[in-house]
């Protein structure tokens, strides 16, 4: 498995970074984890072929994590002229919120029949879903977004990629991330504790329980970016790649 950060930013463009978008490839498939509002810009900037994506996993229903989908689906229809099937998988409530977002941004866009097979799935928590060659297990975390927010554990090729999504510390992050080959973790602040977001110091105090081989911090505020030289983990950047 290989991971490339197409977007490693928060919702507010801190550090000039693009919204969350993780591009993952295996020998058999290519997929995204999250597709924030700026993701079509990121896809073009980093030369990713959107028609090569089989799947887009969505952690939670905030614009900086799923707001790129109305653009990507319109691109698939009008510009990239997609024919390959596409699966979108998110938390309960995803189907309706996605339809609302598409209609708000591009009225009428949900009434056009796609020329490719578009499947939209709502994944139940803590039940492994087999999606092509991947096994994906969502865990409910704590982040207000009008629907259950997820951390994701993705297994492929005998490796585990885990992603916290946006959340304050919750114990469900332990089964989501335990023994992962790579954990992508939110670090919104360095040591300031706020509701619904993770800070580096809290994460650091839990890393022994998680026992991950490698940890990459993402979704950093301007405060966290100022402290990025003081951390013991890897730090994401737009365009940065990791072998898993």
Positions touching Zn ion (CB under 5 A) are: 11, 62, 64, 166
> Contact 127/93 with Cβ under 8 angstroms?
no
Which residue lies nearer to Zn ion by CB, 23 or 82? 23
Least distance (Å) between residue 145 CB and Zn ion: 6
Which residue lies nearer to Zn ion by CB, 115 or 193? 193
Packing angle between helix 69-78 and helix 94-105, nearest 10 degrees? 70
| Run of H or E residues at 239 | none
Which residue lies nearer to Zn ion by CB, 137 or 221? 221
DSSP 8-state symbol, 28? S
Which residue lies nearer to Zn ion by CB, 36 or 156? 36
Least distance (Å) between residue 59 CB and Zn ion: 8
Beta bridge partners of 2: 25, 243
- Active-site amino acid positions: 64
- CA separation for the pair 20, 36 (Å, rounded): 5
Least distance (Å) between residue 66 CB and Zn ion: 10
Least distance (Å) between residue 166 CB and Zn ion: 4
> Contact 187/218 with Cβ under 8 angstroms?
yes
Strand order of the sheet with strand 159-163? 129-131, 134-140, 150-156, 159-163, 182-186, 215-218, 234-235
């Amino acid at each position: 498995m290989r991971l490339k950060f197409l977007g490693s930013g928060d919702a507010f463009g801190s550090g000039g970074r693009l919204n969350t978008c993780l591009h993952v490839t295996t020998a058999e498939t290519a997929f995204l984890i999250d597709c924030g509002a700026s993701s079509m810009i990121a896809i073009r900037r980093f030369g990713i072929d959107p028609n090569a994506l089989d799947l887009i996993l969505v952690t939670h229903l905030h614009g900086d994590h799923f707001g790129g989908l109305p653009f990507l689906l319109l691109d698939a229809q009008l510009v990239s002229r997609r024919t390959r099937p596409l699966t979108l998988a998110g938390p309960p409530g995803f189907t309706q919120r996605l339809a609302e977002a598409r209609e708000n941004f591009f009225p009428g866009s949900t009434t056009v029949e796609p020329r490719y097979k578009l499947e939209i799935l709502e994944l139940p928590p803590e039940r492994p879903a087999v999606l092509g060659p991947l096994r994906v297990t969502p865990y409910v975390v704590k982040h207000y977004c009008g629907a259950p927010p997820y951390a994701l554990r993705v297994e492929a090729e005998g490796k585990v990629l885990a992603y916290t999504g946006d959340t304050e510390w919750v114990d469900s992050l332990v089964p989501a991330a335990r023994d992962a080959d790579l954990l992508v973790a939110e670090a919104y602040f360095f040591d300031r504790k706020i509701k619904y977001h993770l800070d580096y110091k809290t994460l650091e105090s839990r890393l022994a329980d998680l026992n991950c081989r490698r940890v990459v911090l993402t979704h950093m505020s301007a405060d966290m970016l100022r402290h990025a030289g003081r951390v013991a983990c890897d730090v994401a950047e737009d365009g940065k790649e990791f072998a898993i």
